[in-house]
Amino acid sequence: MKISKEFIEKIPKTDLHLHLDGSLRISTLIELAKESGVELPAYDEPELRRLVFKSQYASLPEYLKGFLYTTTVLQTASALERVGYELAQDNQNEGVRYIEVRFAPQLHQNPRMSCVEVLAALDRGLAKAKAEFNARAEVRSGEEPPFEYGIIACAMRMFDYGFSQYFDTLLNVHAYSERKWIFSLASMELVRAAVEARTTLNLPIVGFDLAGAEAGYPAEDHAQAYALAHKNFLKKTVHAGEAYGPESIFQAITDLHADRIGHAVYLFDADMIKSPEIKDKKAYIANLVQFIADRRITIEVCLTSNLQTIPALGDLSQHSFRHMRKAKLSATFCTDNRTVSQTTVSAEILKAVQAFSITPRELKNFVIYGFKRSFFPGTYIKKREYVHQIIDYYEKIEKQFS
């Protein structure tokens, strides 16, 4: 069977690395900006795409520029609810049946809205879209699998004045404290809020994440927060190996108990190892890869985003996914930021198929990895049932295209 664009769009898919503030509709961004008085460089979609949300970026700072506008308009419960609803719809429309929406609630927290209330607002939007989709006759009859979702609370490796009202207040209150202690404190507060939202409001807060600048801001600064998340049975993922080397990935796994790794672009790059204590760099990488493989630690691969933020990659033929594939690592394709990267899950899979000549059997494995290694909010029994539904539906689509 030839893997076509139409086949990819039909099969059930996941997106396990999906940033809320990088994935709202540009039309919605414009409307919310007008409502809230936020100044944009332009107020029509083509011009905003030309100036901000490009297909190619010159640097990571340019890539991140768009987030300044998206986070600024997402400072009310109604805005968060709306973008959550629309994001779920956008995924449903391309055959995505399970998403884990990650975002940093503390970027949206303000005197009018607590961290728990931020999480609850997003959940209302996602829950509304889920209820509408699952009320369809095809889902109720069992012909199609239902749509499900989880929410991942994302901490920041570092922050400064201007990031959000919450972070400004924290920095003012602890002005004379060591910065890394303040970063750790913010992460601890976020874990507590995530646990509270899950236990008191029964929100599907399924995981905890760490994002932001890797160089100079080690994961170990947040070990206490991850230990608290671990004790409260929150699953754990970490952005690592996106702008730093294998040591960052090792630290995420060992110090933060990571169940999954976001990006891991530099997992196989010996030149990125900085520690003078590591004498045999090739052996270090081999042992790390073996460790990841043995424990089925899944890598959230974001091809388009990586090409945009790491221009040195050149093209997909140089992406480390080729090594992940050869090493038989558990990996799944994700968008990272649907709007900022101008992509979809279907587009990411199609790029992978074309660039790496992925076989139908391999594709099925990568897609199913997404469901199996998800932080599914239900019980293990329910997750198994759901995965079996997905596999049955996938095989049904396969027969239609064979």
Phi, psi for 368 (deg, rounded to 5) = -70, -30
Tell me the C-alpha distance between 309 and 302, whole Å. 11
Active site residue 117: no
Which is the catalytic residue, given 148, 242, 247, 348?
242
Tell me the C-alpha distance between 263 and 299, whole Å. 6
Query: Which residues are catalytically annotated?
Result: 242
